[in-house]
């Protein structure tokens, strides 16, 4: 008996996802719960397991295609088994039939968007609304001229969305790489953030010798519990403590007023290598112990890199931490993750000679592990003095660490 693989609902309010990559081809053997394909929603790439063992008889939805929850993705069964429920035609063949009755064609020709088969994805509608864009001006490159996210972003950037023809000037200059779904969403959100809020940056440095000593004394004990005690854990704890003292840094701008968030939910930018990055969110950080923060950071980072995050785990953040220093960068100007007030970037930790003073006011040189803290904030919410006060609180918590 054949088994249908349906588009699952991956979270509340998630009505659509995009097929990113099939991990098996038609005719391949599959085992129950074996990863069958990768899908993406809200910048989360998730593996979908096979619901049964058998042969992947037919794939109904191609890669880079948006589909609604409940649609059939594929059929699994035994060799030679008939797909009675599937019908003889694939979606590609069925799409060649003009779905519009003759009397509506003149209207459709005047309104290109109305001719799109199926539906416009929510993200396409959202981008169009944010930029007051008339979608009738956008040329669709999807199936039967459907408008995709890439088409809208390309139109906004003022460049053609159509593939470059062989022998063109662009081809002669180099290789044109296709834009991945994740990269497209990163571009969309970064551009929207810069257009939404005035970005201002303030930079301070922190002496981490107390943090380094605490980490050295406790790292082995944490490892015995299966937890990696990273510097990110301390940064998260320091940010949470500072946000409790300065709640405006944990706010969002709205037309009705400043929304002071009741919870402190900190997103941590996690690199996915060439695939881009993702920002999973650790909830209610201020209520967690250092061990609890470490467990949460480890878990989210691991599942982000193994494509096992759930959609709700990248939502609801009220502040963001990005560790750009992992690649050796000393300081940088990160972009705010909307609609948050700010983002804190931490640079590479370097041992440097610094001047230290004792209780009697005597100065001396000491070698200390130092880090630059780059705080980028929404100038609509915070002014320079309040931003510096928040960052000073983070600095103080790091430099005077006590568990």
| Residues annotated as part of the active site | 379, 383
Phi, psi for residue 153 in degrees, rounded to 5: -65, -40
Tokens linked to 91: 């979606």
Q: Is the separation of the CB atoms in 70 and 6 below 8 Å?
A: yes
Question: Where does residue 50 rank: exposed (0-12), middle (13-18), buried (19+ CB within 10 A)?
Answer: buried
Characterize 80-112 residue by residue with b for buried, 16 or more Cβ atoms within 10 angstroms of its Cβ, and e for exposed: eeeeeebeeeebeeeeeeeeeeeeeeeebeeeb
Q: Is the separation of the CB atoms in 59 and 73 below 8 Å?
A: yes
Tokens linked to 188: 């969309």
Q: Which of 117, 153, 118 is nearest to 135 (CA)?
A: 153
Q: Which of 117, 175, 111 is nearest to 148 (CA)?
A: 117
Q: Is 325 left (phi over 0), alpha (psi -120 to 50) or beta?
A: alpha
Cα 182–Cα 326–Cα 370 angle in degrees, nearest 5: 145
Tell me 231's DSSP state: H
Q: How many residues in the chain? A: 403
């Amino acid at each position: 008996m054949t088994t249908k693989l349906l588009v699952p609902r991956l979270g509340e309010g998630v009505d659509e996802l995009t097929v990113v990559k099939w991990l098996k081809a038609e005719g391949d053997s599959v085992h129950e719960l074996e990863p069958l394909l990768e899908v993406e929603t809200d910048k989360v790439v998730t593996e979908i397991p096979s619901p049964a063992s058998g042969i992947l008889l037919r794939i109904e939805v191609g890669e880079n295609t948006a589909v609604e929850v409940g649609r059939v993705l594929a059929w699994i069964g035994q060799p030679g088994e008939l797909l009675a429920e599937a019908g003889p035609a694939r979606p590609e063949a069925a799409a060649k039939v003009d779905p519009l009755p003759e009397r509506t064609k003149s209207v459709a020709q005047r309104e290109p968007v109305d001719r799109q088969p199926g539906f416009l994805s929510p993200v396409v509608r959202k981008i169009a609304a944010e930029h007051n864009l008339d979608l009738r001006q956008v040329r669709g490159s999807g199936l039967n001229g459907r408008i995709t996210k890439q088409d809208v972003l390309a139109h906004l950037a003022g460049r053609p969305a159509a593939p470059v023809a062989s022998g063109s000037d662009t081809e002669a200059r180099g290789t044109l790489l296709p834009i991945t779904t994740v990269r497209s969403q990163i571009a969309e959100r970064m551009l929207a953030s810069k257009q939404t809020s005035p970005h201002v940056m303030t930079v301070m440095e922190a002496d981490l010798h107390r943090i380094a000593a605490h980490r050295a004394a406790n790292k082995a004990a944490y490892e015995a519990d299966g937890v990696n005690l990273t510097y990110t854990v301390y940064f998260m704890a320091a940010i949470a403590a500072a946000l409790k003292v300065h709640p405006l840094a944990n706010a969002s701008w709205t037309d009705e007023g400043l929304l002071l968030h009741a919870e402190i939910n900190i997103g941590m930018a996690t690199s996915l290598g060439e695939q881009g990055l993702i920002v999973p969110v650790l909830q209610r950080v201020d209520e967690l112990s250092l061990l609890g923060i470490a467990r949460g950071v480890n878990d989210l980072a691991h599942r982000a890199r193994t494509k096992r995050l759930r959609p709700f785990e990248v939502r609801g953040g009220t502040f963001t931490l990005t560790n750009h220093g992992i690649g050796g960068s000393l300081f940088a100007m990160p972009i705010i993750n909307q609609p948050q007030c700010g983002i804190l970037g931490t640079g590479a930790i370097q041992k440097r000679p610094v001047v230290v003073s004792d209780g009697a006011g005597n100065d001396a040189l000491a070698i200390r592990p130092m880090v630059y803290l780059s705080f980028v904030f929404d100038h609509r919410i915070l002014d320079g003095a309040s931003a510096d006060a928040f960052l000073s609180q983070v600095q103080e918590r790091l430099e005077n660490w006590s568990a």
